[in-house]
């Protein structure tokens, strides 16, 4: 028999909670079971006035919104808040009912500006320490890799400038001739609206695009990110690996037994400060937890922290 569903007037009031409408295997439900942000309010309390001004957004709501956007693949705040208007899982995750108006998308931008990068780094370090305490990360085997992030700028915003800061008002004909040459390397395109987004590419046969670089250090056990840093796209990853490994070791407090990276890090300038033990081998693959780093992995070490 052909069924029919009336859609004229659905029920406005329901009994129970929003949690009953969300599957148990939803990613936000899984995260909520282990997420504890009770310490966050004290972390950012000094940035707010106690007895003056309008009530701000709960810090836990802001972090949960950002986390929901990351887990659901929504990278833009405007789109995230628009999705939260109709997504009951996001509303439940941040503690808002169906009848409550959500914060404006610009509030997340203001919160990022108010807290600043150092505050977010302390929040990240607190999260890493929680993972180490829960034994889901050890910090003994670390995988280093870099990802290019395409900047959200248009090609029309790119301009050509001289690296040596020649103003261009009195450019000689000889300089113009050098400018047209692709071999000098003194001229490059920069973004006028976002100077930090420099031209880079991840392949020889691909064109240069305005990008950032995300340098990440990932724990081998369950893939917990132990360290992350965002730089301009033109910074070579080999120039950043030693500093990142030292920072990871200091944060985890563990003795790093092995560090793995791809071929992009394997050149003389980046390997010069490292001392490679004679009995070790270099591998360009991801290690499984069953591998023995003592004889299967290169034990790259610096004179300071790695052995």
Q: Three-state SS across the chain?
A: CCCCCCCCCCCCCCCCCHHHHCCCCCHHHHHHHHCCCCCHHHHHHHHCCCCCCCCCCCHHHHHHHHHHHHHCCCCCHHHHHHHHHHCHHHHHHHCCCCCCCCCCHHHHHHHHHHHHHHHHHHHHHHHHHHHHHCCCCCCCEEEEEEEEEECCCCHHHEEEEECCCCCCCCCCHHHHHHHCCCCCCCEEEEECCCCCCEEECCCCCCCCEEEEEEEEEEECCCCCEEEEEEEECCCCHHHCHHHHHHHHHHHHCCCCCEEECCHHHCCHHHHCCCEECCCCCCCCCCCCCCCCHHHHCCCEECCCCCC
Residue 180's Cβ-side half-sphere holds a number of Cα atoms within 13 Å equal to 6
pLDDT, position 45? 87
Output the CA–CA distances (angstroms, integers) from residue 212 to 112, 130, 197, 280, in the order listed: 19, 29, 6, 34
Over residues 175-223, the pLDDT tens digits come to: 555 445 444 444 567 777 777 788 887 766 677 888 888 889 999 998 8
Question: What ranges do the domains of the chain cover?
Answer: 18-130, 135-153+194-301
Whether 213 and 235 have beta carbons less than 8 Å apart is answered as yes
**Structure tokens belonging to residue 19:** 């949690």
Listed residue (59, 66, 58, 120) closest to 90, CA to CA: 66
**Structure tokens belonging to residue 61:** 């709501």
pLDDT, position 192? 73
The tens-digit pLDDT sequence of the chain (307 residues) is 665 666 666 666 667 788 888 999 999 999 999 888 889 988 898 888 887 877 788 999 999 999 999 999 998 899 999 999 999 999 999 999 888 899 999 999 999 999 998 899 999 999 899 889 888 899 888 998 888 888 877 776 666 654 445 555 555 555 555 445 444 444 567 777 777 788 887 766 677 888 888 889 999 998 899 999 888 888 877 777 888 888 998 999 888 888 888 877 776 555 555 544 332 333 444 444 444 443 333 333 333 333 3
pLDDT, position 85? 92
As to burial, measured by CB atoms within 10 angstroms (0-12 exposed, 13-18 middle, 19+ buried), residue 98 is exposed
Q: How far apart are CA 109 and CA 113, in angstroms?
A: 6
pLDDT, position 24? 92
Listed residue (283, 299, 303) closest to 140, CA to CA: 299
Q: How far apart are CA 201 and CA 210, in angstroms?
A: 9
Q: What percent of the chain has pLDDT over 90?
A: 25
pLDDT, position 69? 94
Q: How far apart are CA 275 and CA 271, in angstroms?
A: 8
Distance between the two ends of the chain, CA-based, in angstroms?
Answer: 73
pLDDT, position 281? 36
Q: How far apart are CA 42 and CA 228, in angstroms?
A: 24
Write down how long the chain is: 307
pLDDT, position 299? 33
Over residues 246-269, the pLDDT tens digits come to: 899 899 988 888 888 887 777 655
pLDDT, position 7? 67
Listed residue (90, 68, 82, 85) closest to 22, CA to CA: 90
pTM, to two decimals: 0.70
Q: How far apart are CA 6 and CA 172, in angstroms?
A: 77
- Kindly compute the dihedral angle of the four CA atoms of residues 252, 246, 242, 257, in this order, to the nearest 10 degrees: -60
């Amino acid at each position: 028999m052909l069924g029919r569903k009336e859609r004229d007037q659905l029920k406005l009031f329901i009994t129970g909670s929003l949690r009953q409408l969300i599957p148990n295997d939803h990613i936000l439900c899984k995260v909520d079971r282990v997420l504890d942000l009770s310490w966050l309010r004290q972390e950012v309390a000094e940035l707010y006035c106690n007895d003056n001004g309008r009530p701000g957004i709960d810090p836990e709501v802001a972090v949960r919104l950002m986390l929901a956007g990351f887990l659901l693949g929504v990278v833009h705040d405007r789109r995230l808040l628009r999705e939260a208007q109709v997504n009951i899982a996001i509303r439940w995750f941040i503690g808002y009912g169906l009848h409550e108006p959500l914060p404006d998308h610009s509030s997340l931008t203001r919160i990022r500006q108010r807290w600043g990068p150092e505050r977010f780094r302390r929040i990240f370090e607190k999260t890493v320490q929680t993972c180490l305490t829960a034994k889901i990360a050890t910090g003994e085997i670390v995988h280093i890799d870099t990802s290019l992030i395409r900047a959200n700028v248009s090609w029309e915003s790119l301009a050509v400038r001289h690296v040596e800061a020649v103003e261009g008002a009195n450019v000689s004909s000889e300089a113009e001739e050098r400018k047209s040459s692709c071999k000098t390397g003194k001229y490059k395109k920069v973004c006028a609206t976002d100077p930090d987004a420099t031209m880079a590419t991840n392949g020889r046969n691909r064109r240069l695009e305005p990008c950032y670089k995300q340098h990440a250090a990932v724990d081998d056990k369950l893939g917990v990110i132990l360290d992350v840093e965002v730089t301009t796209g033109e910074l070579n990853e080999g120039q950043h690996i030693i500093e990142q490994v030292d920072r990871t070791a200091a944060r985890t407090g563990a003795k790093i037994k092995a560090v793995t990276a791809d071929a992009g890090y394997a050149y003389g300038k980046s390997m010069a400060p490292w001392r490679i033990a004679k009995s070790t081998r270099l591998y360009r693959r991801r290690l499984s937890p069953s591998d023995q780093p003592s004889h299967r992995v290169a034990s790259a070490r610096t004179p300071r922290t790695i052995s």
